[in-house]
C-alpha cells in the first residue's frame, strides 16, 4: 500500500513539473474590474462641494492595464475638478494614473444632480457608474426678506470692427441686486459666427461651452480674431444659484487693403545725340533710367559692347569703361562720353541691368564725318560721287530719343 501511495505522489509531482515548465501556457492579460466610491452624502445644497473618492477593484492584476474615464451630467449643473482644481470637461476621456483617485464636485443650483461615469481599460472593457444627489435647499433665517440673487453683466464700450489677428479687450463687471448675495460665478461662451479665441485675463484660453470659475466680480476678456468674416460671440455668466445672464458681441471684419505689386520695369532714355563723329572727336550722351513704379528701389548696372569701329566710352567722372565689364550706377541720371578712335562707321550697344536680372539695351550708330574742301554753296562734292557719300548724311541729320532697345542708327 505504501508503494502505491509513493508511486502516485511521484507521478503527480512529474505532472506538476511538466506543466510548470511548458512554454505553451497562455498568459492572461485582460481581467474584469469594478468601480466604487466611499460613502457620499445623499443631498447637496447650492454651492456645496464634495470629494468623490473612487477606487478600481481588479479581478486580477496585469501590469500593462491602464484605465480612463469620461462623464456626462444628465441632471442639474455643477463643476467636476481633479485633485489639482482643474475643471474636467464633459464627454472627454481622462487618464487614471492610480487605482485610487479623488475628484471634486461642486453643486450649482438647487436641482437634483446626477453624474454618469464611463470607465474603460485598454482592452475595451467598459464599466458604467452613476452618482446622484438630491437637492438640499438652504434654510432662510426667519424674519428676513428673501435674498435677491439677480445680477447684471456689464462691459465698457467695445469696438464693433476688427481685423484678422487683431485683439479686442472686453472689460466686464458683475453688479449684484442684493449685497447679501454670496453666490459664486462662472463664465462660458459660444461663437455662432466667424472664428476666433477668447481668453480670460491673458493666460486662460477658454474652450467653447465649458464653464470657468470667476475669481472676481470685475474681469477682463481678450478676443482674438482668426477669420476675415463677420464674427459673433455670446458670453454667458452663470451663478451658483442657477441664474444666467447673456451678452452678445458682434464684430464686423475690416478688410485688409493690399497694395498692388511693385512694377520693376524701367526704361533707358537719352537726349538726342549727333549721328556723325570725327576721329578723336567726343560725343556727350545724357542718360536717364526711368522707373515704372516709385516704390522700386532696385540698383542698376551698366555695360557696353562695340561691334563696329573703335572708340572709348567713359563716365562723366573720367572713368573709362572696358567693353562687357559691369559697372554700378550711383545715380539714375548720368552722362556718358564717347570718343572716336577710327574713321569708319562705329556701333556701340549700351545695356542697363537691374538687380532682378532685367535688361534694357540701346544702340548708337555713328558715321565718320569727312571734311573735304569744296567751293560749292550746297557743301557737296562735284559729281555723283559726292551725292552718294554725303547726300544721305545731310538729309538724316535729325536726332531723337529712344526707349528700351531702340537703335539710334536703324534709320541710316
Residues 286 and 315 sit within 8 Å (Cβ to Cβ): no
Give the Cα separation of 285 and 281 in Å (integer).
13
User: What's the pTM value of the predicted model, to 2 decimals?
Assistant: 0.35
Pairing of strands 126-135, 282-291: unpaired
Produce one character per residue of 114-123: b if its CB has 16 or more CB atoms within 10 Å, e if not: ebebebbbee
Please state the rounded mean pLDDT for residues 202-210.
93
The C-alpha cell that represents 266 in the structure block: 524701367
* Domains of the chain, each with CATH number or no CATH: 33-135 (2.60.40.2410), 151-253 (2.60.40.2410), 266-372 (2.60.40.2410)
Phi and psi angles of residue 54, each rounded to the nearest 5 degrees, phi first = -90, 155
Taking only the tens place, the pLDDT of each residue in 166-191 is 999 999 999 999 999 999 999 999 99
Residues 198 and 222 sit within 8 Å (Cβ to Cβ): yes
In terms of C-beta density within 10 A (0-12 exposed, 13-18 middle, 19 or more buried), how is residue 347 classed? middle
Give the Cα separation of 396 and 26 in Å (integer).
109
Nearest to 372 by CA among 383, 386, 357: 386
Give the Cα separation of 141 and 192 in Å (integer).
44
Taking only the tens place, the pLDDT of each residue in 332-391 is 999 999 999 999 999 999 999 999 999 999 999 999 876 443 434 343 333 333 333 333
How far apart, in Å, are the Cα atoms of 86 and each of 78, 105, 121, 204, 295? 14, 11, 23, 12, 54
DSSP 89: P
Is the pLDDT at 91 greater than 90, yes or no? yes
Give start and end residues of each alpha helix (H) in 191-283.
none
Place of cell 560721287: 385
Give the Cα separation of 239 and 314 in Å (integer).
86
- pLDDT recorded at residue 76: 93
How far apart, in Å, are the Cα atoms of 377 and each of 374, 380, 381, 384? 8, 8, 10, 16
Length of the chain: 412
Q: How much is the mean pLDDT over the chain?
A: 84
Taking only the tens place, the pLDDT of each residue in 2-41 is 655 555 666 666 555 555 544 555 667 788 999 999 999 9
Strand ranges, E, within 242-358 = 244-253, 266-270, 276-277, 282-291, 300-308, 311-315, 327-329, 333-340, 346-354
The C-alpha cell that represents 273 in the structure block: 545725340
Assign 204 a pLDDT band (cuts: 50, 70, 90).
Answer: very high
Residues 165 and 224 sit within 8 Å (Cβ to Cβ): yes
Strand ranges, E, within 25-148 = 33-37, 43-44, 49-58, 67-75, 77-81, 94-96, 100-108, 113-121, 126-135
The C-alpha cell that represents 41 in the structure block: 452624502
Give the Cα separation of 217 and 220 in Å (integer).
10
Residues 90 and 72 sit within 8 Å (Cβ to Cβ): yes
Give the Cα separation of 50 and 59 in Å (integer).
29
Phi and psi angles of residue 87, each rounded to the nearest 5 degrees, phi first = -65, 135
- pLDDT recorded at residue 260: 86
Give the Cα separation of 221 and 223 in Å (integer).
7
Residue 313, C-beta contacts closer than 8 angstroms, at least 6 positions apart? 304, 306, 320, 321, 336, 337, 338, 348, 350
Q: pLDDT > 70: what percent of the chain?
A: 81
H/E element, 394: helix 383-395
Q: How many CA atoms lie within 13 A of 254 on its CB side?
A: 9
Amino acid at each position: 500500500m505504501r508503494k502505491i501511495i509513493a508511486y502516485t505522489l511521484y507521478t503527480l509531482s512529474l505532472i506538476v513539473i511538466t506543466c510548470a515548465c511548458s512554454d505553451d501556457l497562455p498568459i492572461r492579460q485582460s481581467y474584469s474590474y469594478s468601480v466604487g466610491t466611499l460613502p457620499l452624502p445623499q443631498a447637496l445644497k447650492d454651492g456645496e462641494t464634495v470629494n468623490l473618492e473612487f477606487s478600481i477593484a481588479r479581478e486580477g492584476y496585469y501590469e500593462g492595464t491602464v484605465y480612463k474615464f469620461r462623464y456626462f451630467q444628465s441632471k442639474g449643473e455643477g463643476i467636476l475638478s481633479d485633485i489639482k482644481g482643474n475643471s474636467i470637461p464633459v464627454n472627454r476621456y481622462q487618464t487614471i494614473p492610480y487605482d485610487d483617485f479623488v475628484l471634486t464636485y461642486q453643486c450649482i443650483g438647487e436641482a437634483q444632480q446626477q453624474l454618469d461615469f464611463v470607465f474603460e481599460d485598454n482592452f475595451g472593457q467598459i464599466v458604467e457608474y452613476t452618482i446622484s444627489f438630491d437637492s438640499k435647499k438652504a434654510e432662510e433665517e426667519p424674519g428676513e426678506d428673501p435674498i435677491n440673487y439677480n445680477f447684471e453683466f456689464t462691459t465698457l464700450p467695445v469696438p464693433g470692427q476688427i481685423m484678422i489677428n487683431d485683439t479686442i479687450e472686453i472689460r466686464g463687471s458683475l453688479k449684484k441686486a442684493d449685497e447679501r448675495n454670496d453666490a459664486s460665478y462662472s463664465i462660458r461662451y459660444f461663437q455662432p459666427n466667424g472664428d476666433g479665441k477668447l481668453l480670460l485675463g491673458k493666460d486662460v484660453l477658454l474652450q467653447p461651452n465649458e464653464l470657468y470659475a470667476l475669481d472676481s466680480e470685475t474681469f477682463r476678456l481678450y478676443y482674438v480674431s482668426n477669420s476675415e468674416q463677420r464674427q459673433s460671440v455670446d458670453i454667458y455668466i452663470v451663478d451658483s444659484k442657477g441664474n444666467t445672464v447673456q451678452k452678445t458681441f458682434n464684430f464686423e471684419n475690416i478688410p485688409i487693403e493690399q497694395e498692388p505689386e511693385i512694377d520693376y520695369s524701367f526704361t533707358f532714355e537719352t537726349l538726342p545725340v549727333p549721328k556723325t563723329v570725327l576721329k578723336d572727336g567726343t560725343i556727350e550722351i545724357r542718360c536717364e533710367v526711368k522707373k515704372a513704379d516709385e516704390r522700386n528701389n532696385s540698383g542698376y548696372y551698366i555695360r557696353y559692347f562695340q561691334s563696329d569701329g573703335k572708340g572709348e566710352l567713359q563716365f562723366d567722372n573720367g572713368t573709362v569703361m572696358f567693353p562687357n565689364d559691369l559697372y554700378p550706377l550711383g545715380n539714375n541720371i548720368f552722362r556718358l562720353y564717347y570718343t572716336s578712335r577710327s574713321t569708319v562707321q562705329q556701333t556701340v550697344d549700351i545695356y542697363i541691368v537691374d538687380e532682378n536680372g532685367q535688361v534694357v539695351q540701346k544702340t548708337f550708330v555713328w558715321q565718320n564725318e569727312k571734311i573735304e574742301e569744296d567751293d560749292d554753296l550746297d557743301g557737296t562734292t562735284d559729281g555723283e560721287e559726292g551725292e552718294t557719300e554725303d547726300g544721305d548724311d545731310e538729309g538724316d541729320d535729325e536726332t531723337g530719343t529712344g526707349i528700351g532697345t531702340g537703335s539710334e542708327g536703324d534709320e541710316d
